[in-house]
């Protein structure tokens, strides 16, 4: 049986972009909650060069059935040409929290 809940990670260029994306996901009932970590230092290769700068990290909590809509919304609203979208299966946790997610996302 596939996990019922997902944790999606992405980064945004700045706090304002992260806030807009998080708010849109919650308003559309695609995410029950989005945690925003305002300062994450990232180092990566982009177009043949090493890039290092501060980004804003998002942890998006959702249900498996909403995953494709969350991914499409991130791609649609994101300022990056190739946004990070990593999906983790949630295999356990606080049942009361999952019940709350079910209520919020219905």
Encode pLDDT of 6-35 as tens digits. Answer: 999 999 999 999 999 999 999 999 999 999
Question: Nearest 5°: CA angle at 33, between 27 and 39?
Answer: 110
Output the pLDDT for position 53: 93
pLDDT of 1 strictly over 60: no
Considering its fold, how many domains does the chain have in total? 1
Residue range 44-98, pLDDT digits in tens = 999 999 999 999 999 999 999 999 999 999 999 999 999 999 999 999 999 999 9
CATH number for the domain that contains residue 84: 3.30.70.120
Output the pLDDT for position 74: 98
Q: Where in the sequence is the domain holding 37, given as residue range(s)?
A: 5-104
Q: Distance between CA 106 and CA 72 in Å, rounded?
A: 19
């Amino acid at each position: 049986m596939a996990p019922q809940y997902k944790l999606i990670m992405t980064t945004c260029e700045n706090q304002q972009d992260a806030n807009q994306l998080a708010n849109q996901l919650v308003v559309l009932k695609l995410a029950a909650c989005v945690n925003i970590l305002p300062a994450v230092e990232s180092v990566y290769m982009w177009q043949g060069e090493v890039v290092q700068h501060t980004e804003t990290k998002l942890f998006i909590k959702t249900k498996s059935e909403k995953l494709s809509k969350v991914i499409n919304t991130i791609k649609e609203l994101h300022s990056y040409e190739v946004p990070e979208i990593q999906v983790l299966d949630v295999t356990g946790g606080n049942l009361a929290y999952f019940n709350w997610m079910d209520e919020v996302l219905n």
